[in-house]
């Protein structure tokens, strides 16, 4: 049981380090293109509303543990 706890803690620490190095993930809506194409006129598109056209999204842990980067990938200076 103790070993399982240690493994869980190590995994969690690794997750936090990973969040610092890679705070972003792909936008699930536009797949990082930042664009949302029309259904009829397929050449037409608008900015993706989910990620505001950046294609970048904060990871869940980035927001939960570090307050988020506002989807920029840059942590605010303290
Ligand atoms: Zn998007």
Cα 38 to middle of ligand 1, angstroms: 14
What is the bridge-based pairing of β-strands 45-47 and 35-37?
A: antiparallel
Cα 70 to middle of ligand 1, angstroms: 14
**DSSP structural state of residue 30:** T
pTM value surpassing 0.95: no
Q: Are 57 and 71 in contact (CB under 8 A)?
A: yes
Q: Please work out, in degrees rounded to the nearest 5, the angle formed at the alpha carbon of residue 76 by the alpha carbons of 65 and 50.
A: 70
Cα 24 to middle of ligand 1, angstroms: 12
Cα 30 to middle of ligand 1, angstroms: 4
Reported as a single tens digit per residue, the pLDDT across 29-77 is 999 999 999 999 999 999 999 999 999 999 999 999 999 999 999 998 8
- Can you tell me the distance from the alpha carbon of 74 to that of 78, in angstroms, rounded to the nearest whole number? 12
């Amino acid at each position: 049981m103790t070993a399982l706890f240690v493994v869980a803690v190590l995994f969690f620490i690794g997750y936090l380090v990973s969040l610092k190095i890679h705070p972003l993930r792909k936008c699930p809506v536009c797949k990082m293109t930042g664009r949302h194409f029309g259904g009829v006129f397929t050449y037409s598109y608008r900015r993706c509303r989910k990620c505001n056209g950046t294609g970048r999204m904060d990871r869940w842990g980035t927001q939960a543990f570090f307050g988020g980067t506002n989807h920029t990938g840059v942590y605010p200076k303290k």
